[in-house]
Amino acid sequence: MLTTPVCCVGIADHLDEVLDPHGADRRLAVQLARAEALAARRAFCRLRHDETTQTTDGVFRIPLVQGVRLQRMLEALLNPGRPDPIDPVDPETGVRLSAEELRGRALAELVDRIPKGTLPRTGGCDPVVVVTLDLATLLGGLKAARLDTGDVVSPGTARRLAARCGIIPAVLGSSGEVLDLGRKARLFTKKQRLAMNVQQGGVCAVEGCARPAAWADAHHLHQWQHGGRTDLADGVLVCRPHHTYADHPDYRVERLRPGHIRLHRRQ
């Protein structure tokens, strides 16, 4: 005779709670603590930028508490009673947005609302986006602009970004070089570092090195103590390993073009 199987684990858990409620609470607390620790270790985030569609999508996993906090932040931004609520209707099509689309717009607004001053610095600079455009585009031209990630954006967006907090416009001269933003001082300024980052394409100045320039040291090509100037013409961002060689007397630095160098071991 066949019988329907009974979930023994569920019955055992229920009996455990009835017979030993305090012990069950302790075991549940231990189980949850282990799950939380595992969740923290298994957190991840993958982002993919598509300049053709001008979108970013991705997949992420974060611990439950942070996930609920994110949900609450989005709910606050989606509150229709706020002074400037998110429009639930697409202005182009007149179609009402889905719940997922509304959360997407709330997430974009949340990113814009994070003050850059509350985040750690990277490479001596605030975590800002640099948009590179030529003077003609800034004055109303139609040439696309480029972010420091290498992605392109429309000239209209570039002009709007240039006027917003957290966005640094880097206007290029006729030769394509970033205009000198520095002053004569021992240490390079944040704006100079940002300009070098743009000039180097976001990576270490040493030929063939792909380490991020945001993690690099600002290096004087002509050493400061020997009369070097703290300006863009004499500065590059070099990763920590290559900076050791650049300062070593056994190596010679060859300037290839603005923001790009090659290291040679002296014979």
Give the chain as a 3 state SS string.
CCCCCCCHHHHHHHHHHHHCHHHHHHHHHHHHHHHHHHHHHCCEEEEEEECCCCEEEEEEECCHHHHHHHHHHHHHHCCCCCCCCCCCECCCCCCECCHHHHHHHHHHHHHHHCCHHHCCCECCECCCEEEEEEHHHHCCCCCCEEECCCCEECHHHHHHHHCCCCEEEEEECCCCCECCCCCCCCCCCHHHHHHHHHHCCCECCECCCCCEHHHCEEEECCCHHHCCCCCHHHEEEECHHHHHHHCCCCEEEEEEECCEEEEEECC
More confident residue, 57 or 134: 57
More confident residue, 120 or 263: 263
* Amino acid 45: pLDDT: 96
Q: Are residues 214 and 120 in contact, defined by beta-carbon separation less than 8 angstroms?
A: no
Instruction: Give the Cα separation of 255 and 221 in Å (integer).
Output: 8
**pLDDT exceeds 50 at position 65:** yes
pLDDT, tens only, 103-156:
999 999 999 888 777 888 776 667 777 787 777 776 677 888 888 788 888 887
**pLDDT exceeds 50 at position 39:** yes
pLDDT, tens only, 187-202:
777 788 888 888 888 8
* Amino acid 50: pLDDT: 92
- Least confident window among 18-27, 96-105, 197-206: 18-27
Instruction: Give the Cα separation of 258 and 265 in Å (integer).
Output: 21
* Amino acid 250: pLDDT: 83
Total Cβ atoms within 10 A of residue 67: 14
Q: Which two tokens stand for residue 51?
A: 């300049």
When pLDDT is averaged across residues 91-103 and rounded to a whole number, the result is 91
* Amino acid 3: pLDDT: 46
